[in-house]
């Protein structure tokens, strides 16, 4: 005799099981780094993964900090003769138009610096798009890997109030973001927090992207390349006469419109690890229309000058080790944006930062 199946009862059981699994998934604190195969296959990366040739390499947009760190060489045990330097920054440091060997961190490695009887080894912990909150999130995980020195490369966009909450890593790592926001109280008062549904969705997307990223390791194993290098155009030379910038208008930038407090948070989070704060070079256009009111198509002169003033004054008041290299390079040293240097420029920038690294040796 066949037993009949009650479809409604089966549906309710399925929904209950689904909700139970979702609750477990949300509250278990699963570390996606345990899924790592990059270490097992000897494929740990010199820089965090990100898609640069979509849709072909979309799997590199993993976004989850645990998985990103698990596949990075900075997680390797620190050698006894190693003076470990972590470099944080945006796409200019990550090297969006460069191979890993051409990036600023590796160019510093090529200088063969020493610190006493130790070899200076520099790691690229930057990630594209400027955001102090993003750098704080990465630093929060990076400190466990025992850096001896931190180089933090910033620009005006790094310290814009909107980048406190506007970055893909924030949406993909809400737990880490909230933990830091609560610790340092840097959220805007009108910020709309993630709902429970948002957090569940972020965890599920994180699991999917991590699995996809692990499978992509087979492509890297077959090709020997961590990234597919795309073709990039030269930065546009045409400058607008519009002087507005991110909702601000001349002539004055208010102190609240530059997130100096997040620089202080970065120093607090770093603890006793010394920091070299670098205001990164920008393209300065000359002899083109509107170059008298704009440095480049990113920055009007009035807002960038006041940003430099605020950051420089804060560095002096707090005793920060600060390098302002904003005007160190001619226009021909830049490639596809006002922040991206060519490999020759990266080499010269490494040589400019190197003396400060050696001075930081204990």
Residues 89-137 pLDDT 10s: 999 999 988 999 999 999 999 999 999 999 999 999 999 999 999 999 9
Residue 29 has pLDDT above 70, yes or no: no
Give the phi and the psi of residue 122 in degrees, each rounded to 5: -110, 135
pLDDT digits (tens, 9 = 90+) for 203-212: 778 788 888 8
- In this predicted structure, what is the pLDDT of residue 237? 79
CB 223 within 8 A of CB 60: no
Residue 166 lies in a domain: yes
Percent of the chain whose pLDDT exceeds 70: 88
- In this predicted structure, what is the pLDDT of residue 204? 77
Residue 27 has pLDDT above 70, yes or no: no
The whole-angstrom separation of Cα 216 and Cα 312 is: 44
pLDDT, greater one: 310 or 174 = 310
Q: Chain-centre distance of CA 111, in angstroms?
A: 24
Number of domains in the chain: 1
- Other CB atoms within 10 Å distance of the CB of residue 181: 20
Residue 151 lies in a domain: yes
11-20, 125-134, 139-148: range with lowest mean pLDDT: 11-20
Residue 165 lies in a domain: yes
Does the global pTM surpass 0.85? yes
CATH number at residue 89: 3.40.50.1110
Residue 187 lies in a domain: yes
The whole-angstrom separation of Cα 55 and Cα 283 is: 30
Q: How confident is the model at residue 294 (pLDDT cuts 50, 70, 90)?
A: very high
Residue 354 lies in a domain: yes
For residue 76, give its domain range. 28-359
CB 39 within 8 A of CB 214: no
Mean pLDDT over the full length of the chain: 88
Residue 314 lies in a domain: yes
82-86, 228-232, 266-270: range with lowest mean pLDDT: 228-232
Residue 339 lies in a domain: yes
pLDDT, greater one: 36 or 214 = 214
DSSP class of 97: T
3-state helix, strand, coil in the chain (%, to 5): 45, 10, 45
Give the phi and the psi of residue 236 in degrees, each rounded to 5: -60, 140
- In this predicted structure, what is the pLDDT of residue 1? 44
Q: Where are the alpha helices (DSSP H) in 115-173?
A: 132-142, 168-172
pLDDT digits (tens, 9 = 90+) for 198-252: 777 777 787 888 888 888 887 887 788 878 876 667 777 789 999 999 999 999 9
Helix or strand or coil: residue 189?
Answer: coil
């Amino acid at each position: 005799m066949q037993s009949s199946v009650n479809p409604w009862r089966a549906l309710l059981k399925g929904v209950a099981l689904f909700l139970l699994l979702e609750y477990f998934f949300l509250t278990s604190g699963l570390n996606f780094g345990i899924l790592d195969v990059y270490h097992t296959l000897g494929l740990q990366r010199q820089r965090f993964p990100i898609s640069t040739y979509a849709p072909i390499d979309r799997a590199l947009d993993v976004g989850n900090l645990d998985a990103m760190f698990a596949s990075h060489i900075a997680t390797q045990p620190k050698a006894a003769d190693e003076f470990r330097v972590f470099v944080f920054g945006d796409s200019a440091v990550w090297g969006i138009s460069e191979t890993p060997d051409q990036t600023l961190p590796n160019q510093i490695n090529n200088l063969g610096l020493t610190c006493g009887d130790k070899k200076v080894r520099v790691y690229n912990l930057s990630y594209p798009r400027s955001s102090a909150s993003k750098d704080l999130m990465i630093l929060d995980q990076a400190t466990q890997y025992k850096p001896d020195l931190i180089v933090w490369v910033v620009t005006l966009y790094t310290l814009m109030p909107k980048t406190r909450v506007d970055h893909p890593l924030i949406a993909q790592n809400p737990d880490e973001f909230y933990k830091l926001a609560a610790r340092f109280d840097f959220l805007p008062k009108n910020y709309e927090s993630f709902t429970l549904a948002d957090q569940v969705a972020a965890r599920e997307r994180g699991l999917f992207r991590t699995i996809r990223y692990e499978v992509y390791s087979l492509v890297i194993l077959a090709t020997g390349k961590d990234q597919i290098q795309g073709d990039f155009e030269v930065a546009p030379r045409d400058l607008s006469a519009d002087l507005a910038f991110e909702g601000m208008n001349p002539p004055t930038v208010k102190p609240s419109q530059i997130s100096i407090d997040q620089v202080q948070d970065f120093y607090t989070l770093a603890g006793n690890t010394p920091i070299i704060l670098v205001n990164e070079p920008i393209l300065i256009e000359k002899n083109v229309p509107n170059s008298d009111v704009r440095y480049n198509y990113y920055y009007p002169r009035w807002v960038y000058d006041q940003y430099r003033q605020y950051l420089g004054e804060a560095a002096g008041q707090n005793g920060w080790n600060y390098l302002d290299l904003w005007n160190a390079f001619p226009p021909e040293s830049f490639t596809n944006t006002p922040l991206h240097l060519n490999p020759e420029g990266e080499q010269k920038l490494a040589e400019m930062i190197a003396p400060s690294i050696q001075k930081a040796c204990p």
